[in-house]
Amino acid sequence: MSQSRFDVNEQVQIPNGDAKRGQQMFEFKCGACHNFEDDKQELAAPTLKKIMGKRIGSTLFHYSKSMRNCNETWTEKNMFLFLKDPKAYFRDTKMAQTKIANPQERADIIQFLKSL
Ligand code: HEC
């Protein structure tokens, strides 16, 4: 019901990412909403501090239902799918506008997120 729709059997090819390029891309496409502060208060968008490996939807942010109720953790694979089209995986998501079509750009951003 309120689960994400990540398909565990979906095969994905994630290119090798470049954290430096990912940082630039992040500042350009994500930084207006997200930062990496400690999770002490509700922000305009969830803090992405140490987001990789963390449970989805688990900061103080007031998430969409589907994200809040998702019992999965962020992996390279589901992050790669999510960034391509957030709404495809969380239908009521509050992050519906950002879509990164280019697989290399997504891989670079993930590499940057992993480096934090
Ligand atoms: C317009 C503001 C905005 C932009 C731009 C944006 N996001 Fe988000 N993001 C959000 C909001 C709001 C949420 C919470 C979504 C929900 O509740 O469904 C979110 C959620 C997330 C989450 C899940 C966080 C968690 O705690 O599980 C990740 C990861 C994420 N965004 C990464 C990114 C990345 C990477 C980019 C750039 C490619 C990006 N976002 C661009 C607003 C934004």
Write the pLDDT tens digit of every residue in 27-84.
999 999 999 999 998 888 999 999 999 999 999 999 999 999 999 999 999 999 999 9
Query: To test ligand 1's pocket by mutation, which of 3, 23, 30, 104 has the most ligand atoms within 8 angstroms of CB?
Result: 30
Please give the distance, rounded to the nearest whole angstrom, from the Cα atom of residue 19 to the centre of ligand 1.
Answer: 18
Per CATH, the architecture of 19-114 is what?
Answer: Orthogonal Bundle (1.10)
What are the sequence ranges of the domains in the chain? Answer: 19-114
Return the pLDDT at 19.
Answer: 98
Strand partners, 85: none
Q: Is residue 4's pLDDT more than 80?
A: no
Return the pLDDT at 41.
Answer: 87
Do residues 74 and 49 lie in contact, with contact meaning Cβ atoms separated by under 8 Å?
A: no
Return the pLDDT at 77.
Answer: 95
Burial grade of 40 (CB within 10 A; 0-12, 13-18, 19 or more): exposed
Note the pTM of the prediction, 2 decimals: 0.95
Residues 6+ apart with CB under 8 A from 94: 63, 64, 67
Instruction: Return d(Cα 56, Cα 79) in angstroms, integer.
Output: 10
